[in-house]
Chain A
Amino acid sequence: DAGVIQSPRHEVTEMGQEVTLRCKPISGHDYLFWYRQTMMRGLELLIYFNNNVPIDDSGMPEDRFSAKMPNASFSTLKIQPSEPRDSAVYFCASSPGLRGVQITQYFGPGTRLTVL
Chain B
Amino acid sequence: GIQVEQSPPDLILQEGANSTLRCNFSDSVNNLQWFHQNPWGQLINLFYIPSGTKQNGRLSATTVATERYSLLYISSSQTTDSGVYFCAVERDRDTGFQKLVFGTGTRLLVSP
Residues of chain A at the chain B interface (Cβ within 8 Å): 31, 33, 42-45, 48, 50, 55-56, 89, 91, 93, 95, 97, 102-107, 109-110, 112
Q: Does the CB pair A103–B43 fall under 8 Å?
A: no
Considering only CB atoms, which chain A residue lies closest to B101 in the complex? A45
A43 to B101, CA, bound (A): 8
Q: Does the CB pair B43–A91 fall under 8 Å?
A: yes
A87 to B101, CA, bound (A): 21
Q: Does the CB pair A105–B45 fall under 8 Å?
A: yes
For residue B100, CB closer than 8 A to chain A, the reply is: yes
Considering only CB atoms, which chain B residue lies closest to A95 in the complex? B98
Shortest CB distance B73–A (Å): 19
Shortest CB distance B9–A (Å): 12
Interface residues as binary, B34-58 with A (CB distance below 8 Å gives 1, 0 otherwise): 0100000111110010000000000
Q: Does the CB pair A45–B41 fall under 8 Å?
A: no
For residue B102, CB closer than 8 A to chain A, the reply is: yes
A42 to B45, CA, bound (A): 17
Q: Does the CB pair B98–A97 fall under 8 Å?
A: yes
Q: Does the CB pair A48–B98 fall under 8 Å?
A: yes
Set A48, A97, A102, A104: member contacting B99, Cβ < 8 A: A48
Q: Does the CB pair B99–A42 fall under 8 Å?
A: no
A55 to B45, CA, bound (A): 23
Chain A residues whose CB sits within 8 angstroms of the CB of B44 once the complex forms: 107
Q: Does the CB pair B99–A107 fall under 8 Å?
A: no
Q: Does the CB pair B42–A109 fall under 8 Å?
A: yes
Shortest CB distance B94–A (Å): 12
Sort A-B residue pairs by CB-CB distance and give the 6 closest, nearest first: A107-B43, A102-B48, A43-B102, A104-B48, A104-B45, A56-B96
Interface residues as binary, B59-96 with A (CB distance below 8 Å gives 1, 0 otherwise): 00000000000000000000000000010100000001
